């Protein structure tokens, strides 16, 4: 529907996990709502990020388990990946999830408008109405009007200066999910969540993988002990890691990429022979995973006085970026699909003038789905001590857990940080099997009155992976049972 005389209470621009959730919540609250999307419904997350990558990683997990079938008393024949079928399965799942969003829009009576949106400012003669131009895929333009606009346009992969993404040999994550054939070798630039997830996936298929990271450790936003454990696990899997290195050059040589890196060095370090310090790498593919840039271009933000700060849309505490204008998710630099969804609900409730629970930014769970999985919430031990927060720290290794031994996966640990005086959860850091699901219990503890004592006296079913949380908390209180 692209009728030029359509008037809405709310128009959401972008249908990712922030946009589509905001649109649905708006209609639930009685607001006439439309959502404008220039590509597939569901945005990057459902089509090119969260969902299809997890399909790929599930395949990798299953493949690695099958390689160890003999350990479980199972005799199998030759095991090898069918790369084309793996990619096809991932794309099929993304397509089904995208269609699920279309169904939800229809169910909730949300007008889904296909096209590229641009803000035109206030409608002539209307103090409370914004005008939005919508250009469809055939170049036909129309306009819609709205009392409120929610910008949920997301972000895209970025590269480094001088490194051109050619979609063939030097690629970003979208191309990494649709390569025509499995590469024999790959260099991954960046060891954040995207980088280590793709490194984990391709290594499971048999690709030779090297990670190059500018910071001193893998997953640099996580607790240092988590980084150390991941480096150890990746080393066992044959994934090479070159941390504290920077990329100097990368050129497409036709059938491979020639890559030059060198140690980053530290401020104040004596000058060194740069040429001697440089390393030359070669790989069929260079995957650039160094971060994202907000989708703010050609949105007409200047027409409505929306400000950009360090590349992101600037918002206030209520996610406002103008009169009747709101922004959520990646476009404001927050990252994480579940944060965008929470902000979408918050903004919808603000617009509807009902109680809107503020997003708890101090209690956002972060999950990385490599093998082993990583999950965390709250402060790292390093940050807690830097803030002079008195803490009790407890760790429980999966190697001491009966369920982990039965499952054949004893890598990793759970680490909990509890306030030494109040017993409140300060932070939790997990690496190992099922931790991206286990983090929910600790996130609940972070946002409620659950404390260390109440958690250890909560009966955890046996045998389960969740017992590691109880065990780590017991260790923090000084009365570990199974250690």
Q: List, in order, residues 6 or more apart from 275 with CB less than 8 Å away.
A: none
Cα separation, 136 vs 291, whole angstroms: 29
> Is 213:112 a contact under the CB 8 Å cutoff?
no
Q: Which of 67, 68, 355, 462 is catalytic?
A: 462
Taking each continuous run of H as one helix and of E as one strand, the counts in the chain are: 14, 25
In three-state secondary structure terms, 430 is strand
> Is 14:45 a contact under the CB 8 Å cutoff?
no
Cα separation, 245 vs 226, whole angstroms: 20
Decide if 68 is catalytic: no
Cα separation, 330 vs 118, whole angstroms: 18
Cα separation, 190 vs 333, whole angstroms: 18
In three-state secondary structure terms, 428 is strand
Cα separation, 48 vs 97, whole angstroms: 11
What does the block give as tokens for 348?
């919808």
Q: What is the DSSP letter of 167?
A: S
Q: Which residues of 272-297 are buried (b: 16+ CB within 10 A; e: fewer)?
A: eeeeeeeeebebbbbbbbbebebbbe
Cα separation, 482 vs 463, whole angstroms: 13
What does the block give as tokens for 336?
């994480």
- Cβ atoms within 10 Å of 299's Cβ, excluding its own: 21
Cα separation, 321 vs 308, whole angstroms: 10
User: Strands 320-322, 141-151: parallel, antiparallel or unpaired by DSSP?
Assistant: unpaired
Cα separation, 394 vs 475, whole angstroms: 5
Which one, of 288, 352, 447, 344, lies nearest residue 12 by Cα? Answer: 344
> Is 189:243 a contact under the CB 8 Å cutoff?
no
- Give CA torsion, residues 173, 242, 431, 404, to 10 deg: 100
Which residues carry out catalysis?
462
């Amino acid at each position: 529907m692209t009728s030029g005389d359509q008037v809405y209470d709310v128009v959401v621009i972008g249908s990712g996990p922030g946009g589509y959730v905001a649109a649905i919540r708006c209609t639930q609250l009685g607001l006439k709502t439309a959502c404008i999307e220039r590509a597939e419904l569901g945005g990057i997350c459902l089509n090119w990020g969260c969902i299809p990558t997890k399909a790929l990683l599930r395949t990798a997990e299953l493949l690695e388990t099958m390689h160890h079938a003999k350990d479980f008393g199972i005799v199998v024949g030759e095991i090898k990946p069918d790369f084309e079928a793996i990619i096809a399965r991932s794309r099929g799942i993304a397509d089904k999830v995208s269609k699920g969003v279309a169904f939800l829009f229809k169910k909730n009576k949300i007008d889904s408008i296909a096209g590229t949106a641009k803000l035109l400012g206030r409608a002539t003669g209307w103090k409370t109405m914004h005008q939005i131009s919508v250009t469809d895929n055939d170049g036909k333009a129309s306009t819609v009007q709205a009392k409120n606009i929610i910008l949920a346009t997301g972000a895209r992969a970025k590269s480094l200066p001088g490194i051109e993404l050619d979609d063939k040999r030097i690629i970003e994550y979208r191309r990494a999910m649709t390569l025509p054939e499995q590469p024999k070798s790959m260099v991954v630039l960046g060891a954040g969540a995207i980088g280590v997830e793709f490194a984990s996936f391709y290594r499971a298929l048999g690709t030779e993988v090297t990670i190059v990271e500018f910071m001193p450790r893998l997953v640099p936003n996580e607790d240092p002990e988590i980084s150390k454990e991941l480096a150890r696990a990746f080393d066992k899997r044959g994934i090479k890691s070159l941390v504290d290195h920077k990329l100097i050059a990368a050129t497409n040589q036709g059938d491979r990429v020639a890559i030059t890196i060198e140690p980053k060095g530290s401020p104040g370090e004596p000058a060194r022979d740069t040429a001697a310090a440089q390393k030359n790498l070669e790989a069929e593919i260079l995957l650039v995973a160094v971060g994202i840039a907000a989708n703010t271009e050609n949105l007409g933000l200047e027409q409505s006085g929306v400000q950009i700060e360090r590349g992101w849309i600037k918002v206030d505490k209520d996610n406002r970026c103008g009169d009747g204008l709101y922004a959520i998710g990646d476009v404001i630099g927050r990252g994480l699909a579940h944060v965008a969804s929470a902000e979408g609900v918050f903004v919808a409730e603000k617009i509807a003038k009902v109680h809107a629970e503020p997003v708890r930014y101090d209690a956002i769970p972060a999950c990385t789905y490599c093998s082993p999985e990583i999950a965390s919430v709250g402060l790292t031990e390093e940050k807690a001590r830097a803030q002079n927060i008195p803490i009790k720290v407890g760790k429980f290794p999966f190697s001491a857990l009966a369920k982990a031994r039965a499952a054949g996966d004893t890598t990793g640990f759970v680490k909990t940080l509890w306030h030494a005086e109040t017993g409140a959860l300060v932070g939790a850091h997990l690496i190992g099997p099922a931790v991206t699901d286990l983090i929910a219990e600790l996130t609940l503890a972070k946002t409620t009155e659950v404390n260390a004592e109440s958690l250890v006296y909560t009966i955890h079913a046996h045998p389960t992976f969740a017992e590691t949380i109880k065990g780590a908390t017991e260790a923090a209180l000084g009365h570990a049972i199974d250690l």
